[in-house]
Amino acid sequence: MTIAIDKPAIPADDPAPSDLAVYRTGPAPRPRTLLDILHATAARHRDAAALDDGSTVLTYRGLLAEVDAVRAKLAAEGVGVGDRVGIRIASGTAELYIAILGTLAAGAAYVPVDADDPDERAQLVFGEAGVCVVLGDGGAIERLADSTGTPGAPGVDDDAWIIFTSGSTGKPKGVAVTHGNAAAFVDAEAQLFLTDEPLAPGDRVLAGLSVAFDASCEEMWLAWRHGACLVPAPRALVRTGVDLGPWLLERRITAVSTVPTLAALWPAEALEDIRLLIFGGEACPPELAARVAVEGREAWNTYGPTEATVVACGAQLTGEEQVRIGLPLHGWELAVVDDDGRPVPMGSSGELVIGGVGLARYLDPDKDAEKFAPLPSLGWERAYRSGDLVRADPEGLVFLGRADEQVKLGGRRIELGEVDAALQALPGVAGAAAAVRRTDAGNQMLVGYVLPSEAGDEPFDRDAAVERLREQLPAALVPLLAVVDDLPVRTSGKVDRAALPWPLPAGATDGADEDGLTETEQWLADGWTSILGVTVADAKADFFRLGGGSSPRRSSSRASAPGTPTCRSPTSTPTRSSPTWPRNSTASRAPAPAAVRSRPCRGRRACSSRC
């Protein structure tokens, strides 16, 4: 690793350039196009299987023939270099991937939309991208606008694909990736993975991600760069998570690129044939890293925004060391900078900035100028501000979270990514995510959603997990733990925080009381639910363990029944296990108090009536 790329002018008191958090590993691969890669592979392995969707198996010779037929159809429509073609074809089919390659062969850039996405989303994406025609199921072609391209083959500076990412304003952002960007990414990964025994004919690569997600490009070209076979899986199967595990065995898959959330759902035996496993898109829990990093398999944790062409850096998982996002691909350059855009010293934290051959561009020129501005401190003419916070270690970067995932809780700004990392590092956890929720009483709650691991020797222990979090995190960052059966994911495969359950169902935070609640207990439980957002089903439930604090305590007076005392501390509220709880049958059947006279209280220390 070369630490200093360019030597910036640094005041005498600042760290030397070699001590700065600037990374570069090697020169960029030679420029070429994706079609150059495909034809080179087909020339070496013409009769090897290239695409197998379960009903159709195409060799590289047969794949090129099908691709040329789509190219000719598009050319007849006037589509050429510089045009943009929409792709909206059912997942899991050979037709989808033939359409993508046919579009590239025609010289156009493909603009994918998931077949299951609403029509409004498709119209927005195709309109923003300036798509001229759309390829649909069964060879359908829909004309949207005039073609303006020119006949011929694309060059390295021509766009290969345009993929839309979610925007902070709610409007998707179109990101254009050139053939030069894409081919450099494909060739750089070939220098990274399985260098002793590369993928080859006979290997089978899962295609399970939506083509509207840029990681799908990694799946495709892991196969087609090496003469391996791409094996598409229907999106419906992928979404189930658990069902995909046995399918991997049945289809003899040997290479997988996926998100940790999905892989955590697969039993260990489902990965028996996998010799290359690549994670990306979200943080990888250490427990999962330890489970998948076994002899005979390379497992990698990768990082990269769409704006830097899929992957910018990666680290091999050992199961013994800290999970990192690692060092850059050849041709990519990384720097960790402070708020002034200056590189921080090694060992410090800051925003990750990306440069090099993988830089794409936004379709919106104003947004492009903002996010891909020069980085004067390093002399980079163009650099992508990722908005991601990382720690710079010489061994590789450690992901800390999103700068824009700062949320305000009780007047304090917190990083959800920091809480995510702590949750995912808990023993017995397959996946986790944090989210801030608001209760009916208006209180904010930090909730940690935990998916227990079905594999491993150490089951998830809620009490031990809480204690561990209290040791690792400031008090304000210790979340209420909620155990869930699954983690909802977006089309990209990343956890969808907005879809995590709220209010929490009974049993998510504590076990239910087998004897049920009396009428009085239920009245009190309903009050707690409105304050805490947690369904209380156990008479022994603890207000503070369920997330209660000073803010909910102040709200409890507003949630009380009319006429009840307004300053009783939840810690003095009796439970059925408390010696102060009435045990006679009359008390256990008593309705909620409704005519108790409220009186002023002078505060906890001055109050002598236990109110």
Question: 315, 330, 345: which is the final residue of a domain?
Answer: 330
Residue 298 lies in a domain: yes
Q: Are 205 and 229 in contact (CB under 8 A)?
A: yes
Residue 556 lies in a domain: yes
> Do 189 and 104 sit in the same domain of this protein?
yes
DSSP string, 435-499: EEEE-TTS-EEEEEEEEE-SSSSS---HHHHHHHHHHHS-GGG-PEEEE-S---B-TTSSB-GGG
Residue 416 lies in a domain: yes
> Do 56 and 178 sit in the same domain of this protein?
yes
Looking at residue 543, the DSSP 8-state letter turns out to be T
Sheet holding 480-483, edge to edge: 429-438, 444-452, 480-483
Q: Which residues contact 463 (CB under 8 A, 6 or more apart)?
A: none
pTM exceeds cut of 0.75: no
- Percentage, residues of the chain above pLDDT 70: 76
> Do 150 and 52 sit in the same domain of this protein?
yes
> Do 488 and 585 sit in the same domain of this protein?
no
Amino acid found at 492: S
Mean pLDDT calculated for residue range 238-264: 89
Residue 85 lies in a domain: yes
Encode pLDDT of 324-354 as tens digits.
Answer: 999 999 999 999 999 999 999 999 999 999 9
Encode pLDDT of 142-160 as tens digits.
Answer: 999 999 999 999 999 999 9
> Do 119 and 180 sit in the same domain of this protein?
yes
> Do 230 and 300 sit in the same domain of this protein?
yes
> Do 516 and 487 sit in the same domain of this protein?
no
Residue 363 lies in a domain: no
Other residues' Cβ atoms within 10 Å of the Cβ of residue 259: 24
Encode pLDDT of 1-49 as tens digits.
Answer: 333 333 333 333 444 456 999 999 999 999 999 999 999 999 999 999 9
List the one residue out of 449, 451, 455 whose CA is nearest residue 436.
449
Q: Which residues contact 65 (CB under 8 A, 6 or more apart)?
A: none
End-to-end CA distance of the chain: 66
Question: 282, 297, 330: which is the final residue of a domain?
Answer: 330
> Do 179 and 291 sit in the same domain of this protein?
yes
Residue 13 lies in a domain: no
CATH of the domain at 462: 3.30.300.30
CATH of the domain at 189: 3.40.50.12780
Q: Which residues contact 403 (CB under 8 A, 6 or more apart)?
A: 351, 387, 388, 389
> Do 513 and 488 sit in the same domain of this protein?
no
Residue 175 lies in a domain: yes
> Do 454 and 507 sit in the same domain of this protein?
no
Residues spanned by the domain of 562: 503-611
Residue 383 lies in a domain: no
Domain count of the fold of the chain: 3
Token look-up 């925080």 returns 497
> Do 308 and 167 sit in the same domain of this protein?
yes
> Do 236 and 273 sit in the same domain of this protein?
yes
Encode pLDDT of 197-221 as tens digits.
Answer: 999 999 999 999 999 999 999 999 9
Q: Are 260 and 317 in contact (CB under 8 A)?
A: no
Question: 330, 351, 373: which is the final residue of a domain?
Answer: 330
Amino acid found at 85: V
